[in-house]
Amino acid sequence: MALDRIEKRFAKLKSENRAGLVTFTTAGDPDLDTSLEILKGLPSAGADIIEIGMPFSDPMADGPAIQEASIRALKGGMTLTKTLNMIKAFREDDQDTPIILMGYYNPIYIYGVDKFLTDALSAGIDGLIIVDLPPEEDQELAIPAKAAGMGMVHLATPTTDKTRLAQILENGSGFLYYVTIAGITGTAKPDLTPVKAALDNFREDTDIPMAVGFGIKDPEDAKRFAEFADAVVVGSAIVDIIKQNVNQENVANSELTGRVLSFVNELSNGVKAATRED
């Protein structure tokens, strides 16, 4: 499946004339069992595509909320192998929802690129977002991933021009992730107008689906961006709910999963309520 599963999901969203909701959580946050329970509940709560973070100690693009999520997961003993096994457990019940693994190259390099791609595809992962591999480094992972049938989602930012976009798209696939702010996740509030202008500009050169993320924190925000984007990504706001429902030893209370999924349902309703352009 892999890339095909992502493409089918965006085709379905297009047929329904609506944007998709992409949710982000970190694998193993706050513990493996709770993380898997959340993961399994996300599709029913309204997540159209699921982005899972690989816990990493030295992130470049993640703000405080997701950094803390990685720390909680790493303290709980989460590893890349356990992350792959968690996705495999999810796939026992769900063969339709695309899963994108987000993170940094170091754990994959240590794991071994060929072995990683084989194991990730076997586990049921459909695409990758590897933040610290720019297009100049596509030979490291993007090109092998493309050859293996794995989607490779590249990032564009407010500083990306059309020349750079062509480089980004050369080996990118699945969708384009447009970073709405010039900063790290979950910090500044994005301005709608320049984001829409950037996507309109890019659409003159490509028909790849475009998701927007970074700083989108509530259902109303999700609705506003869903009026023109192909998907809306929410991460830090979801991860913050996990943080608010663990004690100092990172032990989850009994309300955590329900509160996360309830918020995802509110986000989904916001996305679905968006009035789309013809």
* Active site amino acids: 51, 62
Q: Dig out the tokens for 19 from the structure.
A: 């944007």
Please say whether the beta carbons of 120 and 92 come within 8 A. Answer: no
Give the phi and the psi of residue 128 in degrees, each rounded to 5. Answer: -130, 145
Give the strand pairing for 127-130 and 49-53.
unpaired
Give the phi and the psi of residue 130 in degrees, each rounded to 5. Answer: -115, 105
Give the strand pairing for 151-152 and 127-130.
parallel
For 267, what's the count of Cα atoms within 13 Å in the CB-facing half-sphere? Answer: 32
Amino acid at 198: A
Nearest C-alpha neighbor of 59 from the set 36, 29, 26, 97: 26
Nearest C-alpha neighbor of 186 from the set 229, 234, 138: 234
Terminal Cα-to-Cα distance of the chain (whole angstroms)? 31
For residue 73, count other CB atoms closer than 10 A to its CB: 27
Buried b (16+ CB within 10 A) or exposed e, 250-272: bebeeebbeebbebbbbbbebbb
Angle, helices 80-91 vs 32-45, to 10°: value is: 40
